Amino acid sequence: GALPANSAYFGMVAVGGFASFFNLIFLLSAFLTVLLSGDYLRRLGIHFGEYYALILFATVGMMVLGTALDLITVFIGLEFMSLCLYALSGMVRDDVRSNESALKYFLLGAFAAGFFLYGIAILYGTAGTTSLIGIGQQLDALYLRTGFWLGTGLLLIGFFFKISAVPFHMWTPDVYEGAPTSVSAFMSTGSKAAAFASLIVVCTNALGQADARWQGAMGWIAVFTMIVGNVVALTQPNLKRMLAYSSVAHAGYMLVGLASGRPDGYAGVLFYALTYTAMNMGAFGIVAVLERDRESNEIEHYAGLSTRRPGLAALMAIFMFSLTGLPPFAGFIGKYLVFRAAIESGYTWLAVVGAIMSAVSAYYYLRVVWVMYFNEATEAQMAESRLAPSIGGMSLAALALSAVLCLALTGVFKPVVSIAMQVLGGLKGVGITAGL
């Protein structure tokens, strides 16, 4: 058939607003990661040039994945990004935990890729094309065929693994804890945004804008993801593991926006991906700056940080408040947008579960703030702080930029959301028609 508007390379990738919006998020994530990495890697003794090459290659993979209009391109982008992240996770070669995280990620990622590829094969066999738009054009016939739903299910397993949705989230805490902290920050923001970008394109084209059969399934996955992520995060003594489970919970909130099947829900996900990149980069960035050794990531280690490093404690408080979703921080707006879309499409129960789980998350995010401001530091911690090197200018710039974004995005959320709605409308050449 005719090639879709807004596409390049024979209809294999989307160009235009939607692609640019997500490319900005990937580039922001990579930029902040590179700023944070120098001091941190020197401290770990792994400051190699290959690290930066892998970060940039992974970013290219994200850009391919986020703009793919063909299942083959989706797979190439996914694997290109993943292979770089496997290598980055195991960067601290003399640390058993880093090796373990790379191996776990690689083995489970290979399994997920197998499911994904099998789903592509079945969809190709059923629809006769790998083009997402081509599949979308024959949806009425495909909805009646078992092969279509089987292929779609396997495809979604691959996506759910990448965004760490329950029950495909088990790798997340181990990998985030074992990987270098700057890599954990990059994985939790960039690769998650890329998977969501691709998921939006797949949902709007190959699954039809709003169909109760897949919306309901996605709603239930969102519910389990929010509950498991938040409840397990409550019990984590290690800050990196807690942030890993919290990133599972945030995937659940973003899935609520997708489950709504509404353009404003998708626009909410775009805004959420942007704010989440700023919040999580900042939180992991502070962990990277303060990390002396693997044991220093326990939450108790942050006791009295407000007297030892008042600036860092204030920044960490901003990121924790924003992740909780308290106004006036950008995290609040992101949650408001996806929950509102869910209510408007009749999924009020989803928004209620989301709101309850946000209240649960306040406990573990605010616990970090409590420990920093109200617990006394031990003598050893005070002595260690006096000896600690001052924070590097690049790292400080990355943290400050993240904090400014957490606050500034609240002020400009209306224009950002209207841009998000416009770029989704630009996907029209790429199939979105309903409701735009």
Using the Cα atoms of residue 285, residue 290, residue 291 and residue 296 in order, give the sign of their dihedral: negative
**pLDDT tier at 435 (50, 70, 90 boundaries)?**
very low
Instruction: Assess contact for 323 and 229: CB atoms under 8 A.
Output: no
108-153: per-residue pLDDT in tens?
999 999 999 999 999 999 999 999 988 988 888 888 898 999 999 9
Spatial neighbors of 345 by CB under 8 A, at least 6 apart, are 210, 215, 260, 261, 262, 265
363-419: per-residue pLDDT in tens?
999 999 999 999 888 887 787 777 776 788 899 999 999 999 999 999 888 999 999
213-253: per-residue pLDDT in tens?
788 889 999 999 999 999 999 999 999 999 999 999 999 99
175-208: per-residue pLDDT in tens?
999 999 999 999 999 999 999 999 999 888 887 7
- Please give the model's pTM, rounded to 2 decimal places: 0.93
pLDDT value at 430 more than 60: no
pLDDT value at 429 more than 50: no
Whole-angstrom Cα distance, residue 410 to residue 423? 20
CA separation, residue 352 to residues 214, 282, 303 (Å):
20, 28, 34
Q: Output the pLDDT for position 294.
A: 66
Using the Cα atoms of residue 309, residue 310, residue 316 and residue 317 in order, give the sign of their dihedral: positive
